[in-house]
Amino acid sequence: MPSRLPAPGADELAHSERLLLQLRELIAAQGAIPFSQYMERCLYTPGLGYYSAGTTKFGAAGDFVTAPELGALFARCVAHAVEPVLGLLGEGADFLELGGGSGAFAEHALAAFAAAGTLPRRYLILEPSADLRERQRERLAAALPAGLYGRVQWIDRPPEEDWQGVLFANEVIDALPATRFTLRGGEVYEEYVALDGEGRLLRQDRPADALVAGAVRHVERDLGEAFADGYRSEILPQLPYWMQAVAGALRAGVMLFVDYGYVRREFYLPERGDGTLMAHYRHHAHGDPFHLPGLNDLTASVDFTALAEAGNSAGFGVAAYLPQAQFLLASGLPALFEAAYAEAADEAARYRLAQEVRRLTLPDRMGERFQAMLFARGIEALPLPAELLAADQGGRL
């Protein structure tokens, strides 16, 4: 166990042990499991996974803080950026949020749309975790007037009927179960999770199947060189299928993904030879995915070139790709900050706003580590803010 991490309470430990027991039984019955399956179980096992068991802790008292948790400014900027698209598409336009977390984004975005007179017909939330859904429901029911709350609908699967509007996801791609791979003797191996003689979890490399090997070879071809033996990293071979599933029916509109990550040649830098996988436990980031399964958030950074390819293959063009700081500045942050500052009740509230802007935009906070990628389809003249299109760095992909 990484020694500098806070010790869990007895209940937490028992919770993690229950998940560990299930994992041991699974591995004993069917043999070693791919790391991606292990990650999926740690995050989403009903009742026990990090996102499905009431253990997820967003915000200052929890395990990590996301941009919507810092205050209303992030959601107001996103709303400002996509309002012209909703306006253009008219009354039938919907807004679909993937992975709504605590509901903070939905609360602030709906208020911003209402203030601007650009409310979507429906505000759909696709949230796989039953526990988070319940938390979102409680928060939004308490925070929103009935007229706004009435527009919110939780859906179990992506829309299958054609629709138009805006699809938004903050820090969702980093939570998709990642495949870990390595190279041995020039061959691609996939990382599995096995048990040692005493029932402890253990990493084990096995020859990769055609899907994983093909995805790794595609990255090598795109980079123009082979990975060195021993190089280890993550990849999402399922990303094009996932994208097709979540966005295939969006006939006209935009998609906005915000996440931490890099363009491909920065993601797979030779010196990043053990990948980007991180675990988060009570604001401590560490690298041991076997530490207290179910109590830690597990994430991998996003290869934005792969995301662009997945969007393209689902029929979308990349409209803009830029660091979060530039995205927010081009999406009205200065004016939105000034307005909030002028309305702030006291000095403490003004200080919080200033801190929020710093955390959202400073390069060593979220400003440069997080990227925003906008896709569009079915709209001829894209009505996005001109500053946003001007700040596009899509040429780096």
Ligand X SMILES: C[S@@+](CC[C@H](N)C(=O)[O-])C[C@H]1O[C@@H](n2cnc3c(N)ncnc32)[C@H](O)[C@@H]1O
Q: What residue ranges bind ligand X (CB under 6 A)?
A: 51, 58, 66, 68-69, 98-101, 105, 126-129, 132, 170-172, 175-176
Which residue number, 160 or 196, has a Cβ lying nearer to ligand X? 160
Least distance in angstroms from the C-beta of 101 to ligand X: 3
Least distance in angstroms from the C-beta of 69 to ligand X: 6
Output the residue with the shortest Cβ distance to ligand X: 99
Burial class (CB in 10 A: 0-12, 13-18, 19+), 18: middle
Least distance in angstroms from the C-beta of 246 to ligand X: 7
Least distance in angstroms from the C-beta of 99 to ligand X: 2
Whole-angstrom distance, CA of residue 263 vs CA of residue 371: 10
User: What is the DSSP code (8-state) at residue 146?
Assistant: H
Question: 179-184 and 232-235 as β-strands: parallel, antiparallel, unpaired?
Answer: antiparallel
- Identify the residue whose tokens are 């919770």: 15
Least distance in angstroms from the C-beta of 225 to ligand X: 32
Least distance in angstroms from the C-beta of 66 to ligand X: 3
Closest of 90, 140, 79, 138 to residue 114, by C-alpha: 79
Which residue number, 248 or 383, has a Cβ lying nearer to ligand X? 248
Which residue number, 69 or 220, has a Cβ lying nearer to ligand X? 69
Which residue number, 136 or 305, has a Cβ lying nearer to ligand X? 136
Which residue number, 127 or 191, has a Cβ lying nearer to ligand X? 127
Tokens linked to 212:
């994983």
Burial class (CB in 10 A: 0-12, 13-18, 19+), 103: buried
Which residue number, 68 or 159, has a Cβ lying nearer to ligand X? 68
Contacts of 324 (CB under 8 A, 6+ apart): 67, 258, 360, 361, 366, 367, 368, 369, 370, 371, 372
